Amino acid sequence: MKKNAKKIDKNEELKDLKKKLFYKKENVYDVRTKKGAKETERYAKGYMKFLDNAKTEREAVREGIKMLEANGFVPYTLGGEIVAGGKYYYNNRDKSLFAFVAGTENIENGIRICAAHIDSPRLDLKQHPMFENEGFAYLKTHYYGGIRKYQWVTIPLALHGVVTTMDGQNVEIVIGEDEGDPIFCITDLLPHLAREQSQKPLGTAITGEGLNLLIGSEPIDGDIDEKVKFNMLKILNEKYGITENDFVSAELTATPAGKARDLGLDRSMIGAYGHDDRVCAYPSLTAIIENKDSEHTIMCVLADKEEIGSEGVSGMRCRLIVDLIDEISKNLGGNPNVVRANSMCLSADVSAGYDPMYPEVYEKRNSAIVNCGVVMNKYTGGGGKSSTNDASAEYVGKIRKIFQDAKITWQTAELGKIDVGGGGTVAMYIANHNINTVDLGVPVLSMHAPMEVISKNDLYETHRALCAFCK
């Protein structure tokens, strides 16, 4: 008997020691409270509303400003005054958005920055998009970002964007989102006649030049050329006052039509277009709004152009972020070089969720598991950690401590197996300004597809993680 009791003691000891020494991935379902579950659902509802109203970067900027203004943030213009405790936003050309709260502590302690992007893969219209062919009218597109072309045929598409006319007007267009609106689509072959097409590799069966949007078939009445195209231009002119020339100065894009939906019998997930990266942009906004009384100076960046390399005036490679930090530093009495050196950034972007239907491309031990919380990517890139920010042990340690203290369910991951592919985020462009940065975000299934999938748990943990970081 005595011997047995000793054995049991010893086993308990080993179990305790194992618990202490081993890493164990936490699942949100194992730790969340009833109250947490309720909060998760409430938060997800707000996010889905944001998604429905923000399918392009311009729409996301507009929605973001609405949220910020409702919470006391005021517009800032370069050169303007910034006072400690003030809440500001900088609208960059309606394409990217910076919100910041000037803290009460010494500005040279640095700024806490959450940076997400608000552009998503889609089909932009070409500059001379409209043509007629055999009784149909079409719009030619040039795809934006990394899409798998075969996913974009035979699905309902909507048109979003703006047209700048010669009299300086900006005409906003959204067609295909209201119940009563018409939609558009790209046609595909019927299987009966697709024997040859079906033999082609997935990546080449549908071509870029083949992604033409079907927009009409009714001719204008009269004895004249290109009757169907004529009718389309007439309809657009009557409704929006634009002509074919105006497409030259337009940003029109085809996105999947329709709203974000609960996914699954249990409604535990959300199926929607554009989770990448609004599923991090929204938590970045809510974190800065909820932490407006933090003593730290905090900043939320919603960037454009991430999906095509972060170039240009609205991308993260633009020096605007440095200009803004210069302005904040100057106004709050700090040296901007010191401020940047002491700043910390979470590059809030999605990660590839482990998909058990495609286990061959993942290394499971280092994968982002859905429902296991917000995921940190110490590095992204591809081909031997090429083209990535690789956060330091010290910086990851600092963030890890913040999450542990706030009881965040989080995990780390890489983007799939080595040499299978790769990808990047804005992290390196921010880190290049001498700002410590690491990637953090939500695991996504079917990333870049017209409908992406995330779990509500991971969304809410991301909000909680960004809040803890700003606090």
Closest CA to 307 of 151, 146, 97, 93: 146
Q: How far is the CB of 117 from Mn ion (least distance, A)?
A: 6
Nearest approach in angstroms of CB 459 to Mn ion is 15
User: Residues 6 or more apart from 124 whose CB is under 8 A from it?
Assistant: 141, 142, 143, 144, 251, 252, 253, 254
Total residues at the site for Mn ion (CB under 5 A)? 3
Residue whose CB is less far from Mn ion, 87 or 160: 160
Q: Which stretch binds Mn ion (CB under 5 A): 68-76, 272-280, 308-316, 366-374?
A: 272-280
Segment interacting with Mn ion, rule: CB under 5 A, options 263-271, 285-293, 345-353, 428-436: 345-353
Q: Applying CB under 5 A, which part among 11-19, 175-183, 271-279, 398-406 lies near Mn ion?
A: 271-279
Among 59, 63, 246, 349, binds Mn ion (CB under 5 A): 349
Judged by CB under 5 A, the stretch of 38-46, 347-355, 384-392, 455-463 that binds Mn ion is 347-355
Q: Is 304 in the site for Mn ion (CB under 5 A)?
A: no
Q: Which CB, 277 or 304, lies closer to Mn ion?
A: 277
Nearest distance from C-beta of residue 380 to Mn ion, angstroms = 10
What number of other Cβ atoms are within 10 A of residue 382's Cβ?
18
User: b or e along 399-414 (b: 16 or more beta carbons within 10 Å of the residue's beta carbon)?
Assistant: beebbeeeebbbbbbb
277: contact with Mn ion by CB under 5 A: yes
Q: What are the structure tokens assigned to 296, written together?
A: 């730290």
Neighbours of 391 (CB within 10 A): 24
Whole-Å CA distances, 359 to 201, 356, 379, 418: 21, 5, 21, 14
Q: Cβ of residue 304: shortest distance to Mn ion, in angstroms? A: 12
Q: How far is the CB of 374 from Mn ion (least distance, A)?
A: 15
DSSP state of 138: E
Q: Are 298 and 112 in contact (CB under 8 A)?
A: yes
Task: Write out the two tokens for 440.
Answer: 């953090």
Q: Which is nearer to Mn ion, 132 or 277 (CB)?
A: 277
CA distance 67 to 159: 24
Contact criterion met (CB below 8 Å) for 267 and 273:
no
Per-residue contact string for residues 375-414; x = within reach of Mn ion by CB under 5 A: ----------------------------------------
Selected binder of Mn ion within 57, 119, 246, 276 (CB under 5 A): 276
Residue nearest to Mn ion (CB): 277
Contacts 24+ apart (CB under 8 A), 167-173: 169/241, 171/240, 171/241, 171/242, 171/246, 173/240, 173/252
CB nearer to Mn ion: give 143 or 230. Answer: 143
Distance CA 354, CA 362 (A): 7
Binding mask 221-260 for Mn ion (x = CB under 5 A): ----------------------------------------
Give the nearer residue to Mn ion in terms of CB position, either 63 or 349.
Answer: 349
Q: How far is the CB of 366 from Mn ion (least distance, A)?
A: 19
Under rule CB under 5 A, residue 57 binds Mn ion: no
How large is the greatest C-alpha to C-alpha distance in the chain, in angstroms?
A: 106
In the sheet with 96-101, reading across from the earlier edge strand, the strands are 74-75, 87-92, 96-101, 297-303, 111-117, 344-348, 436-441, 374-377, 410-412
Least Å from the CB of residue 426 to Mn ion = 8
Instruction: Identify which of residues 63 and 306 has a Cβ nearer to Mn ion in the complex.
Output: 306
Residues that bind Mn ion (CB under 5 A): 276-277, 349
